[in-house]
Amino acid sequence: MTMTDGQLPAVAASPQPGHLQTPPPPASVRAGLTTELLASIALTGFSIAVAAGYARVFTGWDFFGDLVVLTLSGHAFGFVARRLRLPGLVAVPLTAALMVWIIAAVHYRDSMSLLIPTGDTLELFRQEIEAVRQQFRTEVAPVSFEGGWDVLAAIGISLAVALSDAFAFRALARVEALVPGGALFIFIAALGTDRSRVALATALVFAGVVSMVALRAHHAPQRGAVIGAQSSPIKRIGPAALGTAAVVALAASCIGPRLPGADASPVYEIRGSGGGRVTNVISPLVDIRSRLTSRSNAEFFSVRADFASYWRLSALASFNGNEWGLPERSLTSADGELSTARAGTDELRQEITIAALGDKFVPTAPDPVAASPQKGLRWNADSSTLLKTDGKLIAGSIFEIVSASPRFDLRTLQTATSNDAGDAIYLELPDNFPLSVRELAREVTAVSTTPYEAAITLQDWFRSQFEYSLEVQPGHSNSAIEEFLSDRVGYCEQFAGTYAAMMRTLGVPARVAVGFTPGNFNGERYSVLGKNAHAWPELWFDGLGWVLFEPTPGRGAPGAEYYTNVAFDQDATGVDTGSFPDVSLEGAVPEIPVSPSTTTAGSVGTTPDDIPVSPSTVSQPVELTGAAAGTPKEKKTSFPTGRLIVLPLIGVAVAVPELTRRWRRHRASTDSDATIALLWRQSLSGLHDVGVHPAASLTPIECARHASVTLPVIARPLASLAAAVTEVSYAPSGAANQVAECRQWKRQIERAVKDSLSPLARVRRYFTRLS
């Protein structure tokens, strides 16, 4: 008797009992789509908890959105690749390529062409990684999520996601799948601050336990027989995973911080330490950008002073080609008099109240000559540095300091020499310092005949030919100097470091001072914010000492206008005076003097009335021409929402075929006989994809024998399914109890068909198969 496609025969031979017995498939086959999806979601949650751990090394939470997108994309693509049966040798590289593309699209999208990375993209990446490499040894958390640190974080989380997904679903691992993310979390914690450490660790433990339970349920063999209705994977996995995770995480969060030694000092401090020498303290220049950006509106300290000044933290004399830093010098106790005031200076008394400065450097006006005794306060005259060596500055700490504010005679400056600063370090440059920078310094100052003329000429060249912007990578190394001089855009770190290095090439002793501009004056005190962080160069003049110059556009030192020809200026955006503590010095600080030499008829921006401003020296806007007028390539750090929104849309498009097939199967599963017949037809349809086309005249058992010749691996499951469909054809409901086995045989056939296809054929089949 013959049959047509889709019809069942009236008579068929009884199936051989052996055809109904098949060996149990491997765990990866028995694991259903639901358990795999749950395990993927749980592992994604663990990776997100690892990403949240970056809060200990970055300021704010700007990093979190970018890293979550990478995490979701990596795990989602891994899931889709497994559904398409892509082999690991194909899926893992594709996942890595996707995440590299996302990193490029987020951080370097303006350098891409048609959303494809270019040579400029690779060069920007190289420059930022090099900058981070140079800063890694000295940078101290928290840092700003930019300037290469954002890319390094993205690379770290991408590697953790790719490895954990491969371990969990390719190597069938459980606990091992958590090792990459756990190692990254621990590394971050070792370098980071104590910010939210208990909460972040608790979240990681909770997500880790949930992931382990979900992976164990996914990889565990299914039971051969189940009495009664079998519960769904969600009901089986959910309570166990969430309950166990909650108990473990709660215990860890309560017991961990209370263990002996939890709050003790580390055996080995890897984040910088204080000591008896200046070199044991991280240079304040490395943190200047994060103060200017992410902490711009935070008040760091306030000053009650006789008049306005730049507030200096330290003066950096050592330049090794990678960074400006503090030389190795001994510290002395700051218990009163620090040094002798030079002639021609004005006494400046200050009361400095710390708010959120958070490091060891005490800000003072140049040049401190006396300080009120305080425990742990140390002084180094060579770098004009006051340090709190017994710990970081604490909010509410008050320091009373007297400085000898320099007032230089212009005529004396114009004729002064710059031969002996007392130490050769102020002229030292590394052997590999770029020759092009030396030549450029000589070219710009070619018409200058004295050190002062060279200093003013170079200062004015920077202010007129360069642009101030924070949208550049941090750094002041040899390569950073070359890039700065090429792009002609940067912020005070590049201006001060490059200026000082170029003056050294001309034989003028130079150093880089780091500190703050005066801040906002509220009538009583100067409120100094993060945005007031600043760096400026100081040059040595024989008989006069260290003299400040200001090459950074948009900045100008009070009290230096008459020799720099630069009016007082600072960042005055979004100024909010707020409220200030009513602190009285009880006569320690006299009334602010008003003298003809310091009186002004007006003010610029938020300039306090006591800051002298000469109308003739107010800077006018400069129109850039030539190379300076060009717009340099800048890295964009804002998140490309419009472009990356296509990712979830792609995910939906990929999921629709599978969801449609599952819906159809569910609709057809009400009748056991019809379900078995449908499974048979779907199996025959799948065989067409590998070139197996049984004749319509063949019975199911004959079809199975015919197909087994072409694809032997399906011989037993296809024969068993053929026997079952034959049985229900002649004995309705006779094989009703075999529906579960028939589904299992069909899945084995489906897997064998997919494994025999090329990756491209699998993709085509995934989107074209309707059942």
Q: Among 93-102, 140-149, 305-314, name the one with the lowest average pLDDT.
A: 140-149
Q: Which amino acid is at 523?
A: G
Range 562-579 average pLDDT: 75
Distance in angstroms (rounded) separating the CA atoms of residues 136 and 152: 11
Helix (H), strand (E) at residue 405: strand 398-406
Tokens at 628, concatenated = 């300076």
pLDDT in tens, 272-321: 444 444 444 556 776 676 677 666 788 889 999 989 999 999 899 989 88
Tokens at 223, concatenated = 């039971």
Q: Among 57-61, 134-138, 154-158, 608-612, name the one with the lowest average pLDDT.
A: 608-612
Distance in angstroms (rounded) separating the CA atoms of residues 280 and 519: 29
pLDDT at 249: 52
Tokens 């303290």 -> residue: 281
Helices 739-755 & 672-688, crossing angle to 10 degrees? 10
Pairing state between β 345-354 and 299-305: antiparallel
pLDDT in tens, 26-53: 434 444 677 888 888 888 999 999 988 8
| Ramachandran sector of residue 5 (left: φ over 0; alpha: ψ -120 to 50; beta: rest) | beta
Distance in angstroms (rounded) separating the CA atoms of residues 266 and 18: 68
Distance in angstroms (rounded) separating the CA atoms of residues 352 and 360: 14
Q: Among 59-73, 332-346, 526-540, name the one with the lowest average pLDDT.
A: 332-346
Q: Which of 125, 558, 549 lies closest to 305, judged by CA?
A: 558
Buried b (16+ CB within 10 A) or exposed e, 85-94: bbeeeebbee
Q: Among 207-216, 332-341, 581-590, name the one with the lowest average pLDDT.
A: 581-590
Size (the chain), residues: 771
Q: Which of 355, 382, 380, 361 lies closest to 281, judged by CA?
A: 361
Pairing state between β 377-380 and 467-468: unpaired
338 neighbors 368 (Cβ within 8 angstroms): yes
Q: Which of 537, 474, 480, 476 lies closest to 504, judged by CA?
A: 537
Pairing state between β 489-490 and 467-468: parallel
Distance in angstroms (rounded) separating the CA atoms of residues 555 and 499: 15
- Is pLDDT at 686 greater than 70 in this prediction? yes
Q: What is the DSSP string of 15-47?
A: PPGGGG--PPPPHHHHS-HHHHHHHHHHHHHHH
pLDDT at 460: 95
- Specify the higher pLDDT residue, 407 or 286: 407
Distance in angstroms (rounded) separating the CA atoms of residues 527 and 570: 13
pLDDT at 546: 93
CA 66: distance to chain centroid?
8
pLDDT at 702: 84
pLDDT in tens, 105-137: 887 777 778 878 888 888 878 877 777 776 666
Most confidently predicted of 264-273, 436-445, 467-476:
436-445
pLDDT at 341: 75
Tokens at 90, concatenated = 């194909």
Residue 504: pLDDT band (50, 70, 90) is: very high
pLDDT in tens, 447-475: 999 999 999 999 999 999 999 988 777 77
Q: Among 29-38, 466-475, 494-503, 581-590, name the one with the lowest average pLDDT.
A: 581-590
- Specify the higher pLDDT residue, 243 or 87: 87
Q: What is the DSSP string of 590-641?
A: PPPP--GGG--S--STT--TTS---GGGPPPP----GGGGS-------S--H
Range 396-412 average pLDDT: 89
Tell me, what DSSP letter sits at residue 713?
A: G
Q: Among 41-50, 178-187, 636-645, 683-692, name the one with the lowest average pLDDT.
A: 636-645
Phi, psi of 242 (to 5 degrees): -70, -40
Where helices occur in 170-196 by DSSP H, the ranges are: 179-191
The Cβ-side half-sphere exposure at 623, using a 13 Å CA radius, reads 0
- Specify the higher pLDDT residue, 253 or 464: 464
326 neighbors 316 (Cβ within 8 angstroms): yes
Report in angstroms the alpha-carbon separations of 61 from 58, 145, 281, 294. Answer: 8, 9, 27, 10
pLDDT at 693: 78
Task: Name residues whose C-beta falls within 8 Å of residue 621's C-beta, 6 or more positions apart in sequence.
Answer: none
Report in angstroms the alpha-carbon separations of 177 from 43, 44, 47, 200. Answer: 8, 11, 11, 19
- Asked whether the bond before 142 is cis by omega within 30 degrees of 0, the reply is yes
98 neighbors 73 (Cβ within 8 angstroms): yes
Residue 173: pLDDT band (50, 70, 90) is: confident
pLDDT in tens, 708-765: 877 887 888 888 888 888 887 777 665 667 778 888 888 888 888 877 777 677 766 6
3-state secondary structure of 296: coil
491 neighbors 472 (Cβ within 8 angstroms): yes
102 neighbors 115 (Cβ within 8 angstroms): no
Buried b (16+ CB within 10 A) or exposed e, 411-429: eebeebebeebeeeebbeb
How would you write 464-527 as a 3-class SS string? HHCEECCCCCCCCCHHHHHHHHHHCEECHHHHHHHHHHHHHHCCCCEEEEEEECCCEECCCCEE
Distance in angstroms (rounded) separating the CA atoms of residues 455 and 737: 95
Average pLDDT, the chain: 74
Task: Name residues whose C-beta falls within 8 Å of residue 241's C-beta, 6 or more positions apart in sequence.
Answer: 42, 209, 210, 213, 214, 217
Residue 352: pLDDT band (50, 70, 90) is: very high
- Is pLDDT at 634 greater than 80 in this prediction? no
- Asked whether the bond before 150 is cis by omega within 30 degrees of 0, the reply is no
- Is pLDDT at 387 greater than 90 in this prediction? no
Most confidently predicted of 48-57, 391-400, 658-667:
48-57
145 neighbors 153 (Cβ within 8 angstroms): yes
Q: How crowded is residue 686: how many other Cβ atoms within 10 Å of its Cβ?
A: 20
Tokens at 359, concatenated = 């490091």
pLDDT at 582: 35
Q: Among 287-301, 405-419, 585-599, 721-735, name the one with the lowest average pLDDT.
A: 585-599
400 neighbors 351 (Cβ within 8 angstroms): yes
- Specify the higher pLDDT residue, 619 or 485: 485
pLDDT at 696: 74
Q: Among 10-14, 86-90, 211-215, name the one with the lowest average pLDDT.
A: 10-14
pLDDT at 641: 45
